[in-house]
Amino acid sequence: MPGRETILIVDDEPTIVEVVELYLRREGYRVVTASDGPAALAAVAEHQPQLVVLDLMLPGMSGLDVTRRLRSSGHVPIIMLTARGEETDRVVGLELGADDYVTKPFSPRELVARVRAVLRRMAAGTTPASAEPAVLAAGPLRLDTAGRSVTLDGKPISLTVREFDLLAFLMQHPGQVFTREQLLDQVWGYTFASDMSTVTVHIRRLREKIEADPANPSLLQTVWGVGYRLERL
């Protein structure tokens, strides 16, 4: 049973808000709601939620604009709600730093499972402290699993929750190749059918932050037809 983490639901469809709120409250979460972008930003400032469930199609300020504003000021995890045909917006949302998405119509149980997975990883870190060293290294990268911080050539770099978890997992298994399905299972923490672009976009975002030349990466390699690996350096 989760603690009393606060979840912000942002959607202008009252029925969706009501159903999602019911399921989250059943799981023991505290829930606050907003029906548009400005109200969402105000709610984040007031309630400091541990996670935001955010519809992309909002009146006035779009969900993408809300994501952009949230990412400019912090790293609260974001799970997007998208319509089935919004693939472009979905990828843009992931590029902006959203952690995951659920496509409408969706199963409330699936959404709750994804919320639980994100919060569990935030609370527990990527692995028990006794199982892995507190600080992992790969070339110029240093990752502190306990402090959830990363430096590149001694300079701190800013990662979202999911980017950190993905990098930590790969650094814990240097030289090992993982498929996108395996990464979705191990890092995202669920096995629901999902568009693998979630993993692809996060890999691309990581390369932009840790590689000297993201187009020709030296650390985070693609193994064509298989998946990805972090090089042993």
The C-alpha atoms of residue 57 and residue 5 are separated, in whole angstroms, by 25
Is 10 a residue whose pLDDT tops 90? yes
Provide the pLDDT for residue 47.
95
Contact, 190 vs 198, CB < 8 A?
no
Q: Which residues contact 133 (CB under 8 A, 6 or more apart)?
A: 145
Provide the pLDDT for residue 127.
42
Alpha helices in the chain (DSSP H): 14-26, 37-47, 63-73, 87-96, 108-124, 161-172, 180-183, 197-210
How confident is the model over 188-205, as a mean pLDDT?
76
Provide the pLDDT for residue 41.
95
Q: Which residues contact 180 (CB under 8 A, 6 or more apart)?
A: 196, 199, 200, 227, 228
Is 84 a residue whose pLDDT tops 80? no
The C-alpha atoms of residue 10 and residue 193 are separated, in whole angstroms, by 24
pLDDT > 70 in the chain, percent: 89
Q: What is the pLDDT of residues 116-159, one digit of tens each?
A: 888 887 776 544 344 456 889 988 899 998 888 899 999 999 88
The model's pTM is 0.71
Distances (CA, A) of 150 to 106, 138, 204: 35, 11, 17
- Helix then strand then coil, in percent of the chain rounded to 5, is 40, 20, 35
Distances (CA, A) of 21 to 8, 18, 30, 192: 9, 5, 9, 21
Q: Which residues contact 172 (CB under 8 A, 6 or more apart)?
A: 126, 127, 132, 136
The residue type at 126? T
The residue type at 79? I
How confident is the model over 211-232, as a mean pLDDT?
92
How confident is the model over 177-195, as a mean pLDDT?
77
Q: What is the pLDDT of residues 88-118, one digit of tens each?
A: 777 888 888 888 888 888 889 889 988 988 8
DSSP tag of 162? H
Q: Burial of 63 by CB count in 10 Å (0-12 exposed, 13-18 middle, 19+ buried)? A: buried
The C-alpha atoms of residue 76 and residue 121 are separated, in whole angstroms, by 13
**Beta bridge mates, 51:** 7
Q: How far is CA 81 from the centre of its chain?
A: 13
